[in-house]
Amino acid sequence: MTERDSQRVCRRFQTGVEFVPYVTWAVLSVLILAHIGTGLWDVGHNRTGWFGFCFGERSSPTLIAFGARTRWALQRDQPWRLLSYGMLHAHLAHLAMNGLALVGLGRIMESVFGGRRLLLTLLLTTLAGGAASQAGGAALSVGVSGGLFGLMGALMSYGLWHRSRLPTPLRELFGRRLAPWVALNLALGIPLAGVVDNTAHLGGLVAGVALAPTLADHLLDNRRPSEGMDRVVLGMNAALVGWVVLGLGLPR
């Protein structure tokens, strides 16, 4: 890559990062609304007070009612929980940590792949994380962290896949700067087993690594997303979201 090409790719990335990441903020808004909804449900059913609404842990019956992934629910033909669990969080600190990570990773992901592919990656890797959690034997799981590991995996995979074509600053960003964070978060999950769903993290990470090479990006030449691919991506997003919405409306 010539110096001129390198500067052009870096400018594209910088321009993308400076734009408002609409999809990232939309996803964060959904997570916040879902957390408010579970809190109000707990208050309305006398499971907590207003202090608990703000800072307390959401009750298991409420999380299950709103779509948490549980072993027995999936065994009773409720597979949509493999996605809906990602919208829910156990408490404010859980939501805050995942929300901050989503804003950071989502902004980068949107600048590289665009909003539609960010949403597709997040949905598919959350799904993979839920499937891994189910296979790993966790009784109940909530949180979008499996999808966040998927975003990290996708960005690392992109950096590795196109390392010969990326300018040095971006190659380091998607490699040496991001990889330690992934390793650190996986390592932190080991002593917190039982509190942190490590299998969901691994499932999302592997799915993200596998998915990234199939996605067109906005940075490198000759890899502009085609109109046909955009339609496929949008259709898959709509189908996955519809699957969750339909499942939430089914009697349990």
| 250 vs 91, higher pLDDT | 91
Structure tokens at 153: 């995996």
54, 92 contact by CB (below 8 A): yes
Q: What pLDDT score does 251 carry?
A: 47
Cα distances from 213 to residues 22, 75, 190, 195, in angstroms, run 23, 33, 29, 32
What does the alpha-carbon distance between residue 113 and residue 173 come to, in Å, rounded to a whole number? 15
φ, ψ of residue 215 in degrees (nearest 5): -100, 135
pLDDT at 54: 93
- Give the model's confidence band at 227: pLDDT under 50 very low, under 70 low, under 90 confident, else very high: low
Q: What pLDDT sits at residue 91?
A: 94
pLDDT at 205: 95
Catalytic-labelled residue, pool 84, 133, 145, 157: 145
Which range (30-34, 47-51, 109-113, 232-236) has the least confidence? 232-236
Catalytic site residue 201? yes
Burial label, 76 (beta-carbon count in 10 A; 0-12, 13-18, 19+): exposed
Average pLDDT, the chain: 87
Average pLDDT on 194-210 reads: 88
Tally of CB atoms within 10 A around 242? 11
Domain map of the chain by residue range?
A: 3-249
What pLDDT, on a 0 to 100 scale, did the predictor assign at position 136? 87
Neighbours of 187 (CB within 10 A): 9
C-beta neighbour count of 171 within 10 angstroms: 17
Catalytic residue among 89, 94, 162, 201: 201
pTM listed for this prediction: 0.89
Q: Which CATH superfamily is domain 3-249 in?
A: Rhomboid-like (1.20.1540.10)
Q: What kind and span of H or E run contains 74?
A: helix 71-75
Quick check: is 145 catalytic?
Answer: yes
* pLDDT attached to residue 158: 92
pLDDT in tens, 29-82: 999 999 999 999 999 999 999 999 999 999 999 999 999 999 888 878 888 899
What lies within 8 Å, CB to CB, of 16 at 6+ separation is 110, 111, 112, 218, 219
- Mean pLDDT in residue range 184-198: 73
pLDDT, mean of residues 232-245:
73
Mean pLDDT confidence for 87-92: 96
From residue 53, give the alpha-carbon distance in Å to each of 39, 96, 97, 185. 5, 15, 18, 28
Low-confidence winner among 22-26, 107-111, 227-231 (lowest mean pLDDT): 227-231
Look at the block and give the residue holding tokens 């052009």.
8
pLDDT at 220 over 90: no
Q: How far is CA 106 from CA 79, 188, 206, in A?
A: 26, 22, 18
Taking the CB of residue 67, how many other CB atoms lie within 10 A of it?
25
